[in-house]
Amino acid sequence: MALKHKSIPDVATVKEELLKKYPTKVARKRAKQIVINDVKDGDVVPEVQANVRTTPGIITMRGCTYAGCKGVILGPTRDIVNITHGPIGCGFYSWLTRRNQTKAPLESSENFMPYAFSTDMQDEDIIFGGEKKLIAAIQEAYDTFHPKAIAIFATCPVGLIGDDIHAVARKMKEKLGINIFAFSCEGYKGVSQSAGHHIANNQIFTHVVGEDDTPKLGEYKINMLGEYNIGGDAFELERVLEKCGITLVSTFSGNSTYEHFATAHQADLNAVMCHRSINYVAEMMETKYGIPWIKVNFIGAESSAKSLRKIAQYFGDKKLIDRVEEVIAEEMPAVYAALEEVKPFTEGKTAMLFVGGSRAHHYQDLFTEMGMKTIAAGYEFAHRDDYEGRKVMPTIKVDADSRNIEEIEVTPDSTRFAPRKSEEDLKRLAEEGFTFKDYEGMMPQMESNTLVIDDLNQYEADKLIELLKPDVFCAGIKEKFSVQKMGVPMKQLHSYDYGGPYAGFKGAVNFYTEIKRLVTSKVWSDLKAPWEENPELSATYVWE
């Protein structure tokens, strides 16, 4: 029986309203980024324009290249000293703002995440150069903490004045005898934080992955790629995988360590969560070491069960397949009980999701489980394949911004390349409908007559809320308070506010409870912003 949702305005009319205020040239560009998703069974998804620069003057919700490199990819790693070479504001911005958690095994274990390391560049450093200051910072970090590795991140001023952070890294690596590497991730370098992900992946793959051949013990060895342990998500996934008997060699990069990255080449399978942030590493590891990759989703109870079954199917061991079914059977009763409690309050409600990574896609599974409909969604930094699926990748043209990112050449390792599956195994899996290195994208899964909007801005967010009146709005910290002032419950999915985990089975229960709390709260509908309470402005004018 189809769920009954509240009626919403025609989305074509909504799109027209969103574009009405723009100048003609801007409206023409935005029209390609605001797409009516009218996909039905067998239909070709409409093309959306993505990974293009934001129009100057528009208040975008995006982050910068530096934020994607340092804040997203390397931020969750606890035993690498991450030094921001630049003004202190950049280092502070990327420091723990995503609530990446970590759990060191011992109190004496290294954990540098509570520290914000920065060269704190001043005016004189911009004028005369900051390389000497960077050398001093590396030396001080080494003398104080004696880390396994030090990473250096360039900010906008560094690229503008020409400090050679890579030369400094090589010099200090030779002097100190530890791994020191740098990232040319100046904030302006790409369209969005997506460029920073790519730059980070390239350097981690080049300088760290494969550095440690110490054998990793355990059965069914996998890497979890694109999971950043926001609110403790990785802890929940580690619990479930361990319960199934699956060995997690490394996570890129939630609750991660240098050793995890260095031994990642020993896994037998890469499971990719956030396609956009990490598919680069998955592709390179397959080329160099022979590790295949699959797309998984551990957001949502049904999706988690499906992903566990897919991992078990890959290994093809009946013992693992049976154990996975046992774990799912043990975990699902609590999920069903929670759904029975929340669905009377959530069924038929509507949601909007404008979040980076794959979250605007994955979290729709959780809302579907609660009987809610996602009426509009989009990414901050997606490419077309994140929306339309990887099948469109051959048609995507490389633009000037993408050429700013170094493309490293990867070839099979002469001694360590080893295909994990025989041709016979691959053929059998294909006959079973098993797919490798595939992602269908967000749009095919969304219902017809919904809106897909790339790089949503503040004006459009306000207008969408005014026209569609969602029951809950999910986005990032920059949008949180403006949305709440419009009287709509807002769930912050970049750092989860103070909640989480939301991944896996227990995470799904947490999310159901949180959304029920939000949609049943009356405070937001009763809220009046100061300008609504007293909208009149008074002023005096002096004419000369």
Distance (Å, rounded) from C-alpha 352 to C-alpha 406? 35
Positive/negative CA dihedral, 125, 131, 136, 141 = positive
Distance (Å, rounded) from C-alpha 233 to C-alpha 101? 9
Residue of 293, 266, 286, 294 lying closest to 411 (CA atoms): 286
Q: Which of 85, 98, 198, 362 is catalytic?
A: 98
Please tell me whether residue 84 adopts helix, strand or coil conformation. strand
Q: What is the residue-wise DSSP string for 20-73?
A: HTS-HHHHHHHHHHEEEE---TTPPPPP---S-PPPTTS-B----HHIIIIIII
Q: Is 67 a catalytic residue?
A: yes
Distance (Å, rounded) from C-alpha 471 to C-alpha 490? 9
Q: Which of 30, 197, 361, 420 is catalytic?
A: 197
Q: Is 69 a catalytic residue?
A: no
User: How many Cβ atoms from other residues are within 10 Å of residue 225's Cβ?
Assistant: 27
Distance (Å, rounded) from C-alpha 276 to C-alpha 296? 13
User: Peptide bond before 253: cis, by omega within 30 degrees of 0?
Assistant: yes
Q: Which of 30, 50, 64, 275 is catalytic?
A: 64
| Angle value at C-alpha 273, between 267 and 277, nearest 5 degrees | 100
Q: Is 98 a catalytic residue?
A: yes
> Which residues lie below 8 Å from residue 179, measured CB to CB, with a gap of 6+?
148, 149, 150, 173, 207, 208, 211, 258
Q: Is 309 a catalytic residue?
A: no
Residue of 526, 524, 536 lying closest to 482 (CA atoms): 524
User: How many Cβ atoms from other residues are within 10 Å of residue 534's Cβ?
Assistant: 8
Q: In what order do the strands lie in the sheet with 117-118?
A: 117-118, 80-85, 149-154, 179-183
Which residues are designated catalytic? Answer: 64, 67, 98, 197
